[in-house]
Structure 1
Amino acid sequence: MKAVTLLLCTLLPFFSSVLCQEELHWVLLVAGSNGYYNYRHQADICHAYHVVRSHGIPDERIVVMMYDDIANNEENPVPGNIINRPEGPNVYQGVPKDYTGKEVTPDIFLKVLTGDSEGVKAVLGRDGKVIKSGPNDRVFVNFADHGAPGFLAFPTDMLKAQDLHKAIKSMHKNKQYKQMVFYVEACESGSMFDNLLESDINVFATTAANPDESSYACYYDDKRQTYLGDVYSVMWMEDSDKENLKSETLQSQFKIVKSETNTSHVMEYGDLSLGKLKVADFQGNYTKSSLLFTPDRKMHPTADAVPSEDVALEILKRKVATASGDAGIRHRAALHGLLKKKEQTQEFFKNVVGLVTESHLYSYLIAAPLKFSDFSCYTESIRLIREMCPGMNLVQNDYGLRQLRVLANLCESQVQSETIWAAIGKVSYESNFCYA
């Protein structure tokens, strides 16, 4: 078919401007966190850059968003270096820094995804690279973030599932892609697409977790004292590093990653028929991979995997176990502070439940599967917590993000929205934790 199209375009250039347009690959890579303990997210995204770059996608069609506070962080014992597996290569080298620091926001992400260069310039006061894809182009989007039901966390804000869905629908309406694929690494990442992403708009998505569970970090490094990667992300990239992407299909890669990721349930959404397409159609069709990134697995990624929300806790526990003197005292104090914040966060949500229904229902609400029917009560509840309880620092509070399931399930119950919002206000006002 491609040969016939090429012949028609050569002999009859007026045949069809759309038909004769070259198919292009576009890639958007996003690390939605900051802080050294979140090392793994930027490591994942830097590695993903080398996957698509080594398979032939040029920098002008790759957009990278990451806070860029890890490679030269004072805690990094190897300045200018980020690795994504034990004893692995430096994945930071050569990565474009298209959007960094405070530019890494949901608003900028959506503008970049939808090709809104004027919108980017209006917000940032400068030109910025965006996805300028057209009706014949394929788009690959990879997130590595924290998540919560219906949200992906950015350093200072949260991306709503319905806003992402709105952007995808707009791109489809405006013919900004031929097919588009999302790979999303985050806790409860399935909730970004479950019952939202249609099967008839040429979008295929896979996620690290279903709508009800955590994703997992892996590859703890004693020297760097942090986790180097996330299980799902490591699995798909190590597969892409070694496979011939021109022969492997998206569905084949999904099945491999799902099988190896036994820490969470890897999911797929949208137009599952796109699974028959080759991975090369989205990650690049150059067959000669860089030897630098050829997998050399020293251990299986799940060997030391921990739930994402427990990463900071596990790091501090390891530091306490190995440190002495002043360093040991500092680490024990930090661990005590983290455990206290975890307890206070949980107590906040328990108190909200106690004001609107039976207290013992908290255990059910934190564990019950969730199906959204209306986001309005839930999103307003989150806005109120962020406004009225700044001490929780919700976007940066991994335990707080896990607790949001309580609010989501309350909002889907028979409890009136106003009753929930009043309870949030009362608990916030009475809690010293909210103003710490």
Structure 2
Amino acid sequence: MVDYLTCKMTSSSSSVYGYATLLFLAFLSSITQSQKLINTTSTAGGKQWAILVAGSNGYENYRHQADVCHAYQILRKGGLRDENIIVFMYDDIAFNVDNPRPGIIINKPFGHDVYAGVPKDYTGENCTVDNLFAVLLGNKSALTGGSGKVVGSGPNDNIFIYYADHGAAGLVGMPTGNDLYAKDLIEVFKKKHEAKSYKSMVFYLEACEAGSMFEGLLPSNWSIYAVTAANAEESSYGIYCPGDYPTPPQNFLLAWEIDLHDMSQETLQQQYEVVRRRTGFDYEDRSHVMQYGNMELIKDLLSVYMGTNPANDNYTVNIGIEAYPSMIPRAFDQRDATLLYFWHRYSKAPDGSDKKAEAHKDLLRLHSHIRHVDRSINHIAAILFGDENAANLMKFVRPSGQPLVDDWDCLKGLVKAYEKQCGALSWYGKKYTRVIANMCNGGIEVEQMTVASTKACLRNNSTSASDDDGTICIWGLDPNQGDREEWNESSIDITSSKEAKKHANP
């Protein structure tokens, strides 16, 4: 799916890079203006619950917390009480030193503050996978810190979950502690299903390779319907990036017109089709919005989960799929988008300033990490499988419908073995979790991974200082100056990713 990286210009000297997700826009705008929605539309005496999760921290990930804050504001206006909305966010954005508007978070260009009033349920060190699972299961005794709020749902209640984060094959991140692995999420769903503690659940997941969290895993008989921003093997793409050219067109506002839809007549399936078209589903450089789980739920009206606004009765909008691609500027791979943030932070800092020097160090540190991970994973694959088989291992994707890996404990074990010897994979290195899963499926055990990782990372550390050519590959960082820009001060080249693929061989 296209992750909208909307630029928040706040002054001539500084800017905030906020992010709004088109998938989430479809949900949010579907419930915008529904002032009575949640408590007045619950069915059979049930309640509406919502869990909102920003799975990252750091100012470069502004978009995730901005979207979660926006979600809260929409749900609150819709009538959901605070005790039924549970928010997970690290809460390091609003008062971050880089925020030119302290205490304010926005999620669209020139937007209003969406931070005010957001509950601080699980923030900082309490924003963990374990707490998330405890909240979903309604298990207060398993909580460690936080507000103590949990989903106290019953058999007539509906649950909505929105999760925004960096993703990778088989997992999404959390800002503190362990990542959220697909198999663990499914196990929690299973417990929830067996406890008969919900009527239906809708899960919107915005992350790279988000489909791998449900592919071959989520049963069709649990009354759980999931929509993901990307399929199981592709990145989520971003547009309207900082410094992009041309600036967002006026018809960007069309993404918000879905709030006029008649939700008493529109189904979840119809909403999916709208989102699918708006993200350019049939175009190669776009991610693909996907559906998983109980497909019977796609027949449900939006009002079952989100209420309806009578003022929009009988409203329809018809825009053919051929119109959407012309509305969408070029897209950026999400891992490039993170680098883009740091590049702009460096390029906009005053020459000769401490801020410039600090930003330069951060960029070089990122560059070093990227090269280290690329080289070490390739070397490990060669040690374990040989050069020719390693090449196949790096590219192999299981057929659609199969889960990422047969033994999820093996995947966790191999990741831990790598990180113990080579350091954290981080947001970038997690692009290789599919490769590590392939190692598991190929019979590699933790002891073998430990030996290979030790060899690879000892070699990598001994050679990186001598043969680093200082090249960072990012797709089209500055459209105003072409695909390649040389930084004289830092001796770092910015190269389009298409060109980089021709010469990059970690």
TM class by shorter-chain length? 0.7 to 0.9
Q: Secondary structure at the match of 1:303?
A: coil
Give, in whole Å, the separation in 1 of the partners of 2:389 and 2:205.
31
Give the structure 2 partner of residue 177 of structure 1.
Answer: 198
The aligned counterpart of 1:9 is none
Residue 82 of structure 2 aligns with an amino acid whose one-letter code is: D
Contact 1:55–1:286 under 8 Å retained in 2: no
* 1:96 to partner: Cα distance: 1.4
Secondary structure, in 3 states, of the residue corresponding to 1:255? Answer: helix
Q: Indicate the residue corresponding to 1:212 in structure 2.
A: 233
Instruction: State the AA in 2 paired with 1:37.
Output: E
Would you say 1:353 and 2:373 are equivalent positions? no
The 8 Å contact of residues 241 and 337 in structure 2, kept in 1 or not, is answered as: no
CA root-mean-square deviation:
2.9
The residue identity in structure 1 corresponding to 2:214 is: F
Q: For residue 133 of structure 1, what is the aligned residue in structure 2?
A: 153
Equivalent of 2:392 in 358, 364, 386: 364
Deviation at 1:304, TM superposition (A): 5.6
After TM superposition, list the pairs within 5 Å mapping 1:321-332 onto structure 2: 321-325=347-351, 326=353, 327-332=355-360
User: Matched residues in 2 for 1:87 and 1:315: separation?
Assistant: 19
* Residues in 2 aligned to 1:153 and 1:222: alpha-carbon distance in whole angstroms: 27
Does the residue aligned with 1:220 lie in a helix, a strand or coil? Answer: coil
Q: 2:294 aligns with which of 263, 271, 281?
A: 271
Contact 1:218 1:301 in 2 (8 A): no
- 1:89 maps to amino acid: H
Tell me which residue corresponds to 1:309: 335
Aligned position for 2:448 = 419
Deviations along 1:184-231, one digit per CA (max 9) or x if unpaired, are 0111111111100000110000001111111134443569xxxx9xxx
- Give the match for residue 382 of structure 1: 415
SS at match of 1:44: helix
For residue 243 of structure 1, what is the amino acid of its counterpart? H
- CA distance in 1: counterparts of 2:138 and 2:253, whole angstroms: 30
Opposite residue 212 of structure 1, the aligned amino acid is E
Report if aligned partners of 2:414, 2:445 keep a CA contact under 8 Å in 1.
no
Note closer, same or farther for the CA distance 1:141–1:236 as it changes in structure 2 (3 Å cut).
farther
1:211 alignment partner AA: A
Cα shift at 1:404: 1.8
Paired residue for 1:373? 406
Matched, 1:257 2:275: yes
Distance 1:179 1:42, change over 3 A: same
- 1:132-182 C-alpha deviation (Å, 9 max, x unpaired): 110001000110011111111111320111111011011111111100010
Question: Does residue 150 of structure 1 match 2:179?
Answer: no
Write the distance in 1 (CA, Å) between the matches of 2:392 and 2:94: 42
Q: Secondary structure at the match of 1:268?
A: strand
Contact 2:87 2:119 in 1 (8 A): yes
1:49-88 equivalent positions in 2, closer than 5 A: 49-88=72-111
Residues 77-96 of structure 1: CA deviation (Å, up to 9, x unaligned): 11111111111222112221
**Cα distance, 1:410 vs structure 2:** 1.8
Residue in structure 2 matched with residue 333 of structure 1 by the alignment: 361
Residues matched between the structures, number: 391
- In 2, the alpha carbon distance for the partners of 1:240 and 1:57 equals 21
Change (3 A) 1:258 1:423: same
Query: Which residue of structure 1 aligns with residue 317 of structure 2?
Result: none
Contact 1:365-1:405 within 8 A present in 2 as well: no
Structure 1 residues 47, 363: closer, same or farther in 2, change over 3 A?
A: farther
Pick aligned residue for 2:306 from 254, 261, 283: 283
Return closer, same or farther for 1:243/1:221 CA change in 2, 3 Å cut-off: farther
Whole-angstrom distance in 1 between the partners of 2:424 and 2:161: 28
**Structure 1 CA distance for aligned equivalents of residues 456 and 148 of structure 2:** 42
Offset at 1:240?
5.7
User: What TM-score do you get using the length of structure 1 for normalisation?
Assistant: 0.82
Check the 8 A contact 1:66/1:101 in 2, yes or no.
Answer: yes
**Partners of 2:307 and 2:393 in 1: CA distance:** 43
Q: Distance in 2 between matches of 1:337 and 1:191?
A: 30
* Paired residues of 1:36 and 1:69 also in contact (CA < 8 A): yes
Gaps of 5+ in 2: 1-42, 281-285, 313-324, 399-403, 466-506
In the alignment, does 2:54 pair up with 1:31?
yes
Q: 1:367 to 1:137 in 2, by over 3 A?
A: same
2:106–2:115 contact (8 Å) kept in structure 1: yes
Q: Which residue of 1 aligns with 2:265?
A: 247
Residue 405 of structure 1 corresponds to which residue in structure 2? 434
Q: Following the alignment from structure 2 to structure 1, what is the Cα–Cα distance between the partners of residues 100 and 243?
A: 11
Distance 1:376 1:164, change over 3 A: same
Flag structure 1 segments of 5+ consecutive residues without an equivalent. Answer: 1-19, 229-233, 290-298
d(CA) in 2 for partners of 1:432 and 1:176? 51
Q: Deviations over 1:342-374 (max 9, x none)?
A: 111111101111111123444433332244222
Query: By how many angstroms is 1:305 displaced?
Result: 3.8
Secondary structure at the aligned position of 1:139 is classed as strand
Between 152-161 and 51-60, the greater mean CA deviation after superposition: 51-60
Give the 3 Å change call, closer, same or farther, for CA 387–242 of structure 1 in structure 2: farther
2: CA distance, partners of 1:378 / 1:189 = 17
Contact 2:153 2:198 (C-alpha < 8 Å) held by counterparts? yes
1:43 equivalenced with 2:56 (yes/no): no
**Structure 1 match to 2:424:** 393
Q: In structure 2, what is the Cα distance between the partners aligned to 1:258 and 1:56?
A: 28
Residue 331 of structure 1 deviates from its aligned partner by 3.1
- Deviation of residue 47 (structure 1)? 1.4
1:313-353 deviation line (CA, Å, top 9, x unaligned): 11233344444412444433332221221111111101111
Identity %: 38
Task: Give the distance between the partners of 1:429 and 1:333, measured in 2 at CA.
Answer: 23
